[in-house]
Amino acid sequence: MSGLSGRSRPRRAWLRWLTVLGLVVSGGALAVPTASAHPGHPEHEAAAAVIPTGDYQQVQLALGNAELGEAMSLAVLPDRAVVHTARDGTVRYTDAAGNTKTAGKLDVYTHDEEGLQGIAADPGFATNRYLYLYYSPKLNTPGGDAPTTGSAATFEAWKGHLNLSRFTLKADNTLDLASEKVVLEVANDRGQCCHVGGDIDFDAAGNLYLTTGDDTNPFESSGYAPIDERTDRNPQFDAQR
């Protein structure tokens, strides 16, 4: 990703496309040995599991900047459609046939790695059509880089937060922006790179989990952990906070 500071980092190759695994029928078969309780004694080993060789197929659904943007995260819906996010705030909807459209766009702050991050579908999506998004709202944050040194008052203008919010996906598969319910605000410091992130998931009991980055600049600590406790230093250089 690249930001206003001019730094660039390689994107993960898997972000260049969306894929799903589909079940197909095939006449071939693949034998996969199961774990054996008696290694070296084949007469006591369990029979190999037979898996049709064509059971798994990679299907390309969306490709390139027009259909992905700076891709960040995705969620597969019950009907095998995919909703996916781009850092500039765009949420896209790709149906099971591979047709992609813009479902909505959030107004986000995008310095360095900030922007729209994770997305997840509610476990009850089939009936409530809830989606959860994690993003950096615009707020009144100044443009450009925050200073690296100064006083607490200097850095106050760069205090911000990310929202974990619930939205409703309408019947036409567009995002109802007016339906937003902010579930959680996660405080952060803005204006410096790096390590912004946020992934959302649910467990089998329906509990929501959010993971975040440490929102810390790692480039001025000579390869060591970015733990800078100097009182005049921008807080984004201290991962302990």
Tokens for 96, please give them: 């099971």
Q: Per-residue pLDDT for the chain (241 aa), expressed as one digit of tens each?
A: 333 333 444 444 434 444 333 333 333 433 334 444 445 555 555 666 777 777 777 778 788 999 999 999 999 999 999 999 999 999 999 999 999 999 999 999 999 999 999 999 999 999 999 999 999 999 999 999 999 999 999 999 999 999 999 999 999 999 999 999 999 999 999 999 988 989 999 999 999 999 998 888 888 888 888 888 899 998 988 888 8
This prediction's pTM? 0.75
Ranges of each domain in the chain: 27-57, 62-237
Task: Please provide the size of the chain in residues.
Answer: 241
Q: What is the pLDDT of residue 10?
A: 40
Asked if 241 contacts 212 with a C-beta cutoff of 8 angstroms, the reply is no
185 Cβ contact partners less than 8 Å away, ≥ 6 residues apart: 161, 162, 163, 164
Asked if 80 contacts 48 with a C-beta cutoff of 8 angstroms, the reply is no
DSSP 2: B
DSSP string, 27-52: S--EEEPPP-SSTT-GGGSPPPEEE-
Domain 62-237 class, CATH top level: mainly beta
Asked if 29 contacts 65 with a C-beta cutoff of 8 angstroms, the reply is no
Q: Please name the amino acid found at residue 89.
A: G
Q: What is the pLDDT of residue 1?
A: 38
Q: What is the pLDDT of residue 17?
A: 40
